[in-house]
């Protein structure tokens, strides 16, 4: 009972920590919006310098793209929230979490490029139509994130069931099992292989969930550079902007994962972490599924 109480307290602290981070984000949003406007104005000035062929204009333009991506990521957006929630819920290595954050940011830039140039060929590049297409695919993004939450719920529930099942004494005859032992028992697949397959499915869902909601600043940049006949620089700028966004999403994911680890280190010595890990995964997965599902219902 004591362990269950400690786990419950840790989960409350973990979720409270996420909301505290969200509160800090609101403070950043208030201060970042004016900086975003200044960055947009500077970006427009850099494009004029590019058109005029001024020396150093390309370097200045790319630096502005990076800083604009960084500032834009501090504002409202679900990319960093999804990465942070996954880092808090899933027992992933920091390296794996950083890779997911990087891939999701670059995939988001890729979707922006594909969306704009598909609209250029099909819809003559009208900005309102491009933004309309982005709005149309947004519910699919949140639906995939809700699916990711359900995956975490399923994995956490499966682990809890396995933990409680192992605690029950069962009569069994003991002999060495092998793939060809002929004992008549059903041998499960390698647990490591199953875990790797689950991680890959979750990674695909996470990356798609973030990527299918492209950055509006990247859309604006790509349309503008297309109109100015600077298509290649616009595409490069969109990916550099994605690198700026990536710095924030990576930081958010690492902060959540380290917070999670710190909470579990507070468990009494000698106690198994398995129930706490499974329960946190189940509850945070349910939170992701409910919030993302609610956004789907609002958008359709």
When the pLDDT of each residue in the chain is averaged and rounded to a whole number, the result is: 74
**How sure is the predictor about 154, in pLDDT bands with cuts at 50, 70 and 90?**
confident
Instruction: From 25, 27, 29, select the one nearest 37 (Cα to Cα).
Output: 29
Q: What is the pLDDT of residue 184?
A: 44
What's residue 186's pLDDT? 39
Mean pLDDT of 25-38: 57
Q: By the 8 A CB rule, do 257 and 88 touch?
A: yes
Nearest to 226 by CA among 299, 119, 147: 119
Residue 95 has pLDDT above 80, yes or no: yes
**How far is 118 from 126, CA to CA, in rounded Å?**
11
- For 227, other C-beta atoms within 10 Å of its C-beta total 14
For 275, the domain range is 2-166+191-299
Q: Please give the average per-residue pLDDT across 229-240, as a whole number.
A: 92
Is residue 280 within 8 A of residue 134, CB to CB? The reply is no
Judge whether 52 lies within some domain.
yes
Q: Is residue 23 pLDDT above 50, yes or no?
A: no
Question: Is the per-residue pLDDT at 43 higher than 60?
Answer: yes
Contacts 24+ apart (CB under 8 A), 188-194: none
Residue 144: count of CB within 10 angstroms of its CB: 23
The first and second tokens of residue 150, run together, are 């359900």
* Residue 177 falls inside a structural domain: no
How confident is the model at residue 107, as a pLDDT? 93
Q: How far apart, in whole angstroms, are the C-alpha atoms of residue 291 and residue 142?
A: 9
Residue with tokens 């069931």: 161
Q: Does residue 260 have a pLDDT over 80?
A: no
pLDDT at 20 over 70: no
User: Does residue 268 surpass a pLDDT of 70?
Assistant: no
Phi, psi angle pair for 290, to nearest 5°: -65, -45
What percent of the chain shows pLDDT beyond 70?
A: 66
Contact, 83 vs 202, CB < 8 A?
no
> Is 7 inside any structural domain?
yes
> How many domains does the chain divide into?
1
The neighbour count for residue 119, using CB atoms within 10 Å, is 23
User: How many Å apart are CA 41 and CA 49, to the nearest integer?
Assistant: 13
User: What is the average per-residue pLDDT within 178-184?
Assistant: 47
Does any domain span residue 22? yes
Whether 167 has a pLDDT exceeding 70, the answer reads no
Whether residue 109 lies inside any domain: the answer is yes
Asked, for residue 101, whether it belongs to a domain, the answer is yes
Do 289 and 150 contact (CB within 8 A), yes or no?
Answer: yes
| 204-219 mean pLDDT | 86
Neighbours of 125 (CB within 10 A): 16
Structural domain includes residue 122:
yes
Instruction: State the pLDDT confidence band at 240, using cuts at 50, 70 and 90.
Output: very high
Which contiguous run of DSSP H or E holds residue 61? helix 57-74
């Amino acid at each position: 009972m004591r362990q269950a109480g400690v786990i419950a307290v840790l989960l409350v602290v973990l979720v409270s920590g996420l909301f505290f981070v969200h509160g800090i984000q609101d403070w950043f949003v208030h201060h970042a919006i004016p900086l975003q406007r200044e960055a947009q104005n500077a970006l427009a000035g850099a494009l004029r310098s590019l058109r005029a062929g001024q020396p150093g204009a390309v370097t200045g333009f790319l630096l502005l793209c990076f800083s604009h991506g960084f500032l834009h990521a501090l504002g409202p957006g679900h990319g960093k929230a999804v990465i942070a929630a996954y880092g808090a819920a899933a027992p992933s290595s920091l390296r794996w979490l950083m890779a997911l954050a990087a891939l999701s940011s670059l995939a988001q830039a890729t979707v922006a490029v594909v969306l704009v140039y598909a609209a250029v060929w099909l819809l003559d590049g009208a900005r309102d139509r491009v933004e309309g297409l982005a709005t149309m695919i947004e519910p699919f993004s949140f639906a995939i994130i809700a699916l990711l939450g359900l995956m975490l719920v399923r994995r956490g529930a499966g682990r809890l069931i396995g933990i409680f099942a192992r605690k029950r004494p069962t009569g069994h005859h003991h002999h060495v099992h092998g793939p060809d032992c002929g004992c008549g028992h059903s041998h499960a697949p390698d647990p490591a292989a199953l875990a790797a397959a689950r991680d890959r499915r979750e990674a695909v869902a996470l990356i798609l969930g973030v990527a299918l909601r492209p950055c509006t600043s990247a859309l604006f940049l790509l349309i503008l550079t297309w109109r100015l006949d600077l298509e290649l620089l616009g595409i490069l700028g969109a990916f550099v902007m994605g690198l700026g966004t990536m710095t924030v999403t990576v930081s958010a994911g690492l902060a959540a994962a380290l917070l999670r680890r710190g909470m579990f280190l507070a468990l009494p010595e000698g106690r198994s972490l398995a129930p706490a890990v499974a329960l946190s995964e189940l509850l945070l997965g349910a939170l992701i599924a409910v919030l993302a599902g609610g956004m789907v219902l609002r958008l359709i």
